[in-house]
Structure 1
């Protein structure tokens, strides 16, 4: 385990994204670790001797997506929120965004922080990475909670629906996969683009304030962040291929909690994963859209606490 986090935020290691202001959360410390050649940003706090919980966010967010959940875990857990490669204050490599490659970087980062076994909680693209991480490093995991995400090669549809009632939730997958065009169209308009996702996919359009929109837009706009964010979609076919290949030989045996919401994208995460996992449970969080940690943080913190207690 690492040493205890202090109430005064500070940075250790080298921050590769210096043009993006840091967001500070009381009781948590910023760290950067070398994860097999990619510097990843982690925000760490809670009980150093407690069970470790690793949090991964998705598009178009950063670790800051967990800011309302993290304080509710510090009394019992060693809490680590990690920016994925290309996200937030983590380095933006030129290539290597398939989820098996990314999951190896994430697991290396967790080990570099002195943690050998942990629970993994992940949303959206973070859940893509978490599923692949579980396939590759299951012996290090106590449990995996996946929030509102279709997994490439597993539950992510091959075709984009054309029904307007459903198409607005997934239209961007095809757009993000087109080389170069999104970068051309979105340059200088990152805030409008990010704002659409955060306002439309949350149940309440007032979930995110202007400061949060500014932060997420800046994180995508700075130092190749947009290219890196889109790379997860552009490498989704490779992620899918590697997931399917791994599942030819084994299923997940680690406990999996599927977390859906009343107005999210995936009505039953546990049911969608259960053909490939031997131990799944489900919860549906009421009064929430896609961004469940932002919309119902107390419910997510409680679900994490109960899930880990059941399987610790």
Structure 2
């Protein structure tokens, strides 16, 4: 079930839907910029959708072809009928969307869960991506001490991840989504009331509530064991990658961004002072500048 509400308006943005698999999964795409521009794929985090990039799009839409995809089950994208909510599943569907668009190679920008999906995409199909800009997300090789020292910060996921429970919490306690959004930004950059209301309303629809539960549960059963057992150590990142984090991020602390020891050809990290967990909202200008540094050439 997709979001039945009207799409929020953003000047210059065009909308379409992509049929990406044999089961009839349809993903929503918001597109801006010239069709001849360098293509960049943007993947949002939780609990947002394509509109998460609303402040970044006007800064880049004269230079790049911007493709803002709603992840499966979120925003105006349908949830797959079978599975579809593990990181592997999301990566498969995103690659299928690129195939439907006829794009062999794009730049990749991800925030939060979109960035985590971005790492899987870059590891799985490096030939498809010119670079990865990962916002407010650790890479797959964090130092174990840093990971253990910050694990308690993910306490809220216990309310979201359990099958049959998480969807009810999100659906019937939408205040949790508002709390997570407000908690993620410092007092100097509060959410405008209309944006906050948009993400809370979109995130608490039945389809998005189910997707939130399945996304978090998929991470518990698939990705956490991989991290704990060091399974990512056998996979090398060859795509040029930049991590951008916030000094005040309450979840992804700067210690988790250190590239030291990661099996990567070109991985660097930068922490923005005074910033929290939602850089596209808090510092869209600096996000746009990072995009230009990585992809303009």
TM-score, normalization by structure 1: 0.84
2:291 maps to what in 1? 304
1:9 maps to what in 2? none
* Partner SS for 1:227: helix
Contact persistence 1:135–1:246 (CA under 8 A): no
1:172 aligns with 2:156: yes
Contact persistence 2:73–2:80 (CA under 8 A): yes
Matches within 5 A, 1:1-312: 17=2, 19-36=4-21, 37-94=24-81, 95-150=83-138, 154-155=141-142, 167=152, 169-190=153-174, 192-204=175-187, 207-236=190-219, 237-240=221-224, 245=231, 247-248=233-234, 250-264=235-249, 265-267=252-254, 270-272=257-259, 275-309=262-296, 312=297
Tell me the distance in 2 between the aligned counterparts of 1:47 and 1:280: 29
Tell me the distance in 2 between the aligned counterparts of 1:114 and 1:83: 18
* Partner SS for 2:160: helix
Moved more, 56-65 or 172-181: 172-181
Total equivalences in the alignment: 289
Tell me the distance in 1 between the aligned counterparts of 2:200 and 2:145: 29
Tell me the distance in 1 between the aligned counterparts of 2:3 and 2:110: 26
Tell me the distance in 1 between the aligned counterparts of 2:143 and 2:170: 25
CA RMSD of aligned residues (A): 2.6
Q: Shift of residue 261 of structure 1? A: 1.4
Tell me the distance in 2 between the aligned counterparts of 1:135 and 1:160: 21
* Partner SS for 1:235: helix
* Partner SS for 1:32: strand
* Partner SS for 1:149: coil
Pick closer, same or farther for the CA change 1:184–1:101 going to 2, 3 Å: closer
Deviation beyond 4 Å, 4+ runs, structure 1: 156-163, 240-247
Q: Shift of residue 204 of structure 1? A: 2.2
Contact persistence 2:135–2:243 (CA under 8 A): yes
Contact persistence 2:27–2:76 (CA under 8 A): yes
Contact persistence 1:160–1:171 (CA under 8 A): no
Pick closer, same or farther for the CA change 1:156–1:232 going to 2, 3 Å: farther
Q: Shift of residue 99 of structure 1? A: 0.7
* Partner SS for 2:119: helix
Tell me the distance in 1 between the aligned counterparts of 2:48 and 2:188: 16
